[in-house]
C-alpha cells in the first residue's frame, strides 16, 4: 500500500529562524514528489516538484531535497516569515498512468514574531 | 489562465438534509477532477475522481455521490447528510493523466452539520 509519512506533526519557530520538515514515502513505482503549502481555510498550492533524478530544488526561501534510495524528502525553510505559517503537505505520485497521488497528513508550522 | 471555482465557501446544514456542492474549472479542457475531504488536523482524503464526462470513481464507501454532467463541472451530492459528513471539502483539477502535472485546488467549502 502506498503511504506518505510526515514529521513533525506540528512545529513552532520564531520569525527569522530556519526549519526543516521531513517526508518518508513508500510509493511504487515512484514518479514524482511535490510539496504543497496550505494556508488556513484555503486549498493547497504547489511549491516544488521533484522527479527521480533530482536531488535538490529551490523556490525562493524553500528548498526541497529528495533521496530516492532511502525514499525520503525534506523541505527546508530559510529565514522564516510570519506568512510561512501554514500546513505543508508532501504528495507522492506513482508512475504507470496513476491518476491518484498519495498525500501525507501535513506538518503544521507556526511562525511567531 | 486556468481557474477553479468552488461554492459555497461555507455551509451549515441540518442532519438529514440534502447537499449539493459545485466545482467548475475554466481555461482548460478534459481535466481530471477530484473531490477531497479534510477533517480537522487530518490529511486530505480522496472521495471521488473523474477522468471524463460521466466517469466517476469512488475511493471510499460513504454517504456521498459525485457527478460530472459537463467537461469542467464536478458536483458532490448527498440525499441525507450525517453528522460525520462535516469537514472541509476541496475540489481539484489536473491536466490530463500525467502525474507530473500539479493538482490545482479550489478554496474549499467548510461544511458543518448540526
In Å, how far is B59's CA from the nearest CA of chain A? 10
Higher pLDDT, B62 or B33: B33
Given this model, what pLDDT does residue B60 score? 79
Sort out which chain A residues have CB atoms less than 8 A from B90's CB and list them: 43-44
Query: What pLDDT digit, counting tens, does each position of A41-91 carry?
Result: 899 999 999 988 889 999 999 999 999 999 999 999 999 999 999 999 999
Given this model, what pLDDT does residue B37 score? 95
- Average pLDDT on B65-83 reads 95
Verify whether the Cβ–Cβ distance B46 to A89 is below 8 Å: no
Beta-carbon contacts below 8 Å between A and B = 57
Query: What pLDDT digit, counting tens, does each position of A90-101 carry?
Result: 999 888 767 788
Long-range own/partner contacts, residues B11-17 (CB < 8 A, 24 or more apart): B11/B109, B11/B110, B11/B111, B11/B112, B12/B112, B12/B114, B13/B81, B13/B111, B13/B112, B13/B113, B13/B114, B14/B81, B14/B113, B14/B114, B15/B81, B15/B82, B15/B83, B15/B113, B15/B114, B16/B80, B16/B81, B17/B80, B17/B81
Amino acid at each position: 500500500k502506498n503511504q506518505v509519512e510526515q514529521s513533525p506533526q506540528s512545529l513552532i519557530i520564531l520569525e527569522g529562524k530556519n526549519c526543516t520538515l521531513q517526508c518518508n514515502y513508500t510509493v511504487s513505482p515512484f514518479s514524482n514528489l511535490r510539496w504543497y503549502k496550505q494556508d488556513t481555510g484555503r486549498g493547497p498550492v504547489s511549491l516544488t516538484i521533484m522527479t527521480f533524478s533530482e536531488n535538490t530544488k529551490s523556490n525562493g526561501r524553500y528548498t526541497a531535497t529528495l533521496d530516492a534510495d532511502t525514499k525520503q524528502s525534506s523541505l527546508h525553510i530559510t529565514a522564516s516569515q510570519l506568512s510561512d505559517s501554514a500546513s505543508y503537505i508532501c504528495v507522492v505520485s506513482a508512475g504507470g498512468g496513476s491518476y491518484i497521488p498519495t498525500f501525507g497528513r501535513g506538518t503544521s508550522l507556526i511562525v511567531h514574531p | 489562465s486556468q481557474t477553479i471555482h468552488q461554492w459555497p465557501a461555507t455551509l451549515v446544514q441540518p442532519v438529514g438534509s440534502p447537499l449539493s456542492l459545485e466545482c467548475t474549472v475554466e481555461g482548460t479542457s478534459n481535466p481530471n477532477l477530484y473531490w477531497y475531504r479534510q477533517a480537522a488536523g487530518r490529511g486530505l482524503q480522496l472521495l471521488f475522481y473523474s477522468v471524463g464526462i460521466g466517469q466517476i470513481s469512488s475511493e471510499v464507501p460513504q454517504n456521498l455521490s459525485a457527478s460530472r454532467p459537463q467537461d469542467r463541472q464536478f458536483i458532490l451530492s448527498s440525499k441525507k447528510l450525517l453528522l460525520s459528513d462535516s469537514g472541509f471539502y476541496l475540489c481539484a483539477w489536473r491536466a490530463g493523466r500525467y502525474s507530473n502535472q500539479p493538482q490545482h485546488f479550489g478554496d474549499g467549502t467548510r461544511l458543518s452539520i448540526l
